[in-house]
Amino acid sequence: MTVAAPAPVRPGSIGIMGGTFDPIHVGHLAIAEEAREVLGLERVLFIPASIPPHRQAASVAPAADRAAMVELAIEGNAAFELSRIELERAGPSYTSDTVAALAAAERAAGRVPDLTFILSAETLHDLPGWHEPERLVDACRIAVVPREGYPAPDPAWLSSAFPGREDRFDLLEGPRLGLSSTSVRERVAAGRSIRYIVPPAVARYIGDHGLYRAPARAAS
């Protein structure tokens, strides 16, 4: 397979990587970098959710820890930035609200918003059930990356789920990495290595702060 050259950078364009990042891993970074190159994004914002609507707050690591791990993971990539917009906003972290706020900030700065929300093929199929999904799709483009075990988006499904908005979706061919934050947490709880799965600085942070350890292991 021939690998295409990076797309020309669109000045002012912003990619949006939202999520719990509990913890961030190399799959998140690879996805963001792929979208940046393929779509010509000038920068990518990593936006940890404060209160993820889909998970109980008690089961999520503290927001300060998740943000700190994101900051460590993206250090060294000038195109990657941590955004605390959801951490500083009260209530559940709805993506449609976040994107609307980012678009408003761009307009206030005298720029036409050029936003792309990056998600996986797995998450895409849940998108119709999100809070105000049509508002989200109207406010930004949607970049869909592959996810192992999940089929590529079907054009007929897109037409049914988002009629008249099919051209708002960009389907990426890679990267195909079968990683998840759940598996990272499970490995830590079992005392397994997470080397090469998360950036070294993130692995150190998890160890230094005792994150994700099983109760018995933490007590010992």
Q: What CATH number should be reported for the domain holding residue 80?
A: 3.40.50.620
pTM of the model: 0.93
Report which of 119, 118, 16, 22 is spatially closest to residue 69, judged by C-alpha positions: 22
Q: Is residue 219 part of a domain?
A: no
Residues linked to residue 47 through DSSP beta bridges, in sequence order: 18
pLDDT tens column, 160-177: 999 999 999 999 998 888
Parent domain of 25 = 10-147+166-178
Report which of 212, 213, 146 is spatially closest to residue 179, judged by C-alpha positions: 146
pLDDT for position 88? 94
Asked if residues 131 and 139 have their Cβ atoms less than 8 Å apart, the reply is no
Rounded to whole angstroms, the Cα distance separating 95 from 99 reads: 6
Q: How many domains does the chain have?
A: 1
pLDDT for position 217? 42
Report which of 192, 197, 209, 148 is spatially closest to residue 174, judged by C-alpha positions: 148
Q: Is residue 114 part of a domain?
A: yes
Q: Is residue 218 part of a domain?
A: no
Q: Is residue 127 part of a domain?
A: yes
H/E/C letters for each residue in 180-191? CHHHHHHHHHCC
Q: Is residue 187 part of a domain?
A: no
pLDDT for position 54? 61
Separate counts of helices (H) and strands (E) for the chain:
9, 6
pLDDT for position 23? 98
Task: Tell me how far CA of residue 112 lies from CA of 14, 42, 71, 102, 163, in angstroms.
Answer: 11, 14, 27, 11, 25
Task: Tokens for 154, please give them.
Answer: 């079907």
Q: Is residue 58 part of a domain?
A: yes
Which residue ranges of the chain lie beneath pLDDT 50?
A: 216-220
